[in-house]
Structure 1
């Protein structure tokens, strides 16, 4: 890229972010316009679009599959049954509703993709929020934020952590021993902030009617088939990559979506067209456009060029480098889709460690796993910044985009500033706790 192209790319990207932040135009339109300008200027080419959409294909497939399965499950009446159980567990208390929300979302997101979990649990959470006569936006934002943080409980819980972990050869057990506790802390610190962030929901209190007998599910056969598809999806998410055919999560989502649509078609509950019509296509388009913008941004080489700068600034002070990465990547992940940011940041981090002579130059190639123990906290800090930084804004993570899209579909517009009001304080606390955790890892490694 020439200097002019770099400045134009940064200008277009900044204009898109500002247009979304100040609600100038619809966020999907803003992102598509940005892509259009970069295409017209020749900065993005056909090959770039293919590369960007290849990267976006996984998250978009996960979202699409989750949306289809959730839409089919909604036709069974299952969400109403679970919603009734959840509502009576709250006892009519907003405080209990929010605490139970965290406890419900976190364990599910430890094993299922974040955005998929948001899609599946949203109908239940919205149903209970409306029964308690509280605003649905706050609980849905918290659902997204907790899902992102809980993704750090296991190596497979979040795409960003998985990318970093697999890149350095970190095993599932090693992750549990070194990172999972930080993921748990990132979830738990949300709870003390809830009374301050959502006082109206926290203090809400209503008298619930007497618990009514459960209404039998209509079309029980259809419900059982839909649940079987969900069970298969969960099992494949957990064990699909261990099978001989190596079924990755995006493929699992597409398989589940196709089976769910087959069930709808064969049982004749409703037309398949009706299910597909209800998919949130706007969110999928927006996510694809964001990945295209990030493709152009990473081509500027700014992230990769920081590798040598890190060495100039910090030398071999790995603790300072880790904290700088945590903060810097945290900020970047709040404005960019974290998956492509992680890809670029990994190149930058490995380049720095080579420049610092912590590892040989072959570490820049794929398959290198002989990382010294002193360097692991640097990569863990990268995980924290990429995953938790995305909690700050509505475009920072796919689950945030999904939560906002669901609210919008129900007539509740969530602006950039409104999401920031919840996301930024939580993110600052989570990153602070993570920074202390990273410092502790370095202290233990001595």
Structure 2
């Protein structure tokens, strides 16, 4: 079964990369084949579907869908463009930095759901390609999410498994390298797309002359949207104290806003159409397909061999975990890999390894930054691709790979130096 599961997954991945058919169809067929040939049964498959992630996505998509009718995103677009003097190169950096900061204190999926509509509003007004901005925001969201306990799912899992690693410890240990990586990446992205970041002076003048306040179409709905969104964000900060999953917070905020907005059939139908169902079903297929690798032991065998190679040495283990988690997380979803690595690292502690902190930080850095490697490496990547496709902009697997993978390697190299100098010398 292990060989069969591996073959099915590789074929599915090849089809996704080739883009001959839509990735949702490829992932769905891959998951179904795993079920048809008996790699895993339906109950086990459902166990591997991360409903917390799916609920978070749907809830935030509902919130964004209703809020988009208020004109808020156009307002933010004009405000940000005017602060940057309507200069595309500045706008690229401003939006990238905003995305990274928000991703650290919200989650990166929520952040890109809010930022993509803003990006399209700005680029349409200046008649420039949104592609450099979208790619920058994908990468910035994953880097920013690395900096805190709540920014990215792998960090949440690590914090839960190692409760001695507090919220402030994540910031103290991960934020410095995350934001150093960010500034390096901002410089690279601005240099890489400099020739595309030009617009006409008259378009800049038109943007600077606009009254941002006139972009708001429905002040009453805006007030309700901001209330629901603020309540949801507060919920994200306090959900551990409340004992609630982040998906319940997001879904609660989404349906509360639908209720406050009137709850009419037309509103609900219009809002549900704004949910990226193709992306949701892609995640379901991917979770099940990766579940097949987990159930047959492929991921466990890979992680176990990696730990055995190091002989329990903290320095070697930390650097190997950093690079292994980065490479694997760039081609698989990082959540099941981190879930497999956590008990293996805990076992090292049980075997007498006294200082596991460098290993935990290496796992967090590798899993979060590794998500920048490919289009399927992280949830935020796929959300941006789905929202862009809905607006007629196609981010292909290979187009993203040429930018994302080298940047991922660079950030992992910088992280290697950071981990070695700070913890292992």
Please tell me whether residue 337 in structure 1 is matched to residue 333 in structure 2.
yes
> Which of 134, 151, 157 does residue 140 from structure 1 map onto?
134
- Cα distance 1:376–1:218, how it changes in 2: closer, same or farther (>3 A)? same
Q: What's 2:150 paired with? A: 156
Contact 2:69–2:218 (8 Å) recurs in 1: no
> Which of 209, 212, 219 does residue 210 from structure 2 map onto?
212
Q: Deviation of residue 316 (structure 1)?
A: 3.3
Q: Deviation of residue 353 (structure 1)?
A: 5.0
Q: Deviation of residue 308 (structure 1)?
A: 4.8
- Cα distance 1:265–1:351, how it changes in 2: closer, same or farther (>3 A)? same
Contact 1:94–1:205 (8 Å) recurs in 2: no
Could you tell which deviates more after superposition, 136-145 or 273-282? 136-145
Alignment of 1:323-334 (within 5 A): 323-334=319-330
> Which of 31, 40, 43 does residue 39 from structure 2 map onto?
43
Please tell me whether residue 83 in structure 1 is matched to residue 64 in structure 2.
no
SS of 2:399's equivalent in the other structure is helix
Contact 2:92–2:190 (8 Å) recurs in 1: no
Contact 2:27–2:285 (8 Å) recurs in 1: yes
Q: What's 2:27 paired with? A: 31
Q: Deviation of residue 110 (structure 1)?
A: 1.2
**Structure 1 residue runs without a partner (length 5+):** 360-371
Q: Deviation of residue 183 (structure 1)?
A: 2.0
Q: Deviation of residue 383 (structure 1)?
A: 0.7
Contact 2:128–2:198 (8 Å) recurs in 1: no
> Which of 249, 254, 267 does residue 252 from structure 1 map onto?
249
Q: Deviation of residue 347 (structure 1)?
A: 2.6
> Which of 107, 115, 118 does residue 109 from structure 2 map onto?
115
Contact 2:293–2:299 (8 Å) recurs in 1: no
Please tell me whether residue 403 in structure 1 is matched to residue 381 in structure 2.
no
Distance in 2 (CA, whole Å) between partners of 1:248 and 1:184 is: 28
1:140-168: per-residue Cα shift (whole Å, max 9, x none)?
A: 12212111110122111111112112211
Q: What's 1:192 paired with? A: 187
Q: Deviation of residue 282 (structure 1)?
A: 0.3
Distance in 2 (CA, whole Å) between partners of 1:13 and 1:216 is: 47
Query: Structure 1 length normalisation: TM-score?
Result: 0.90
Q: What's 1:172 paired with? A: 167
SS of 2:394's equivalent in the other structure is coil
Please tell me whether residue 421 in structure 1 is matched to residue 415 in structure 2.
no
Q: Deviation of residue 334 (structure 1)?
A: 0.9
Distance in 2 (CA, whole Å) between partners of 1:319 and 1:333 is: 21
Q: Deviation of residue 388 (structure 1)?
A: 0.6
Q: Deviation of residue 270 (structure 1)?
A: 4.9
- Number of residues of Structure 1 aligned to a counterpart in Structure 2: 420
Distance in 1 (CA, whole Å) between partners of 2:84 and 2:130 is: 16
Q: What's 1:387 paired with? A: 368
Distance in 2 (CA, whole Å) between partners of 1:242 and 1:281 is: 31
Contact 2:128–2:197 (8 Å) recurs in 1: no
Contact 2:372–2:404 (8 Å) recurs in 1: yes
Q: Deviation of residue 81 (structure 1)?
A: 1.2
Contact 1:306–1:348 (8 Å) recurs in 2: no
SS of 1:392's equivalent in the other structure is coil
> Which of 247, 253, 277 does residue 281 from structure 1 map onto?
277
1:182-230: per-residue Cα shift (whole Å, max 9, x none)?
A: 2222322211211343233345564412423331733322221111111
- Cα distance 1:211–1:32, how it changes in 2: closer, same or farther (>3 A)? same
Contact 1:333–1:396 (8 Å) recurs in 2: yes
1:391-434: per-residue Cα shift (whole Å, max 9, x none)?
A: 11111111000000011111112211011122112111111111
Contact 1:264–1:272 (8 Å) recurs in 2: no
> Which of 8, 15, 18 does residue 19 from structure 1 map onto?
15
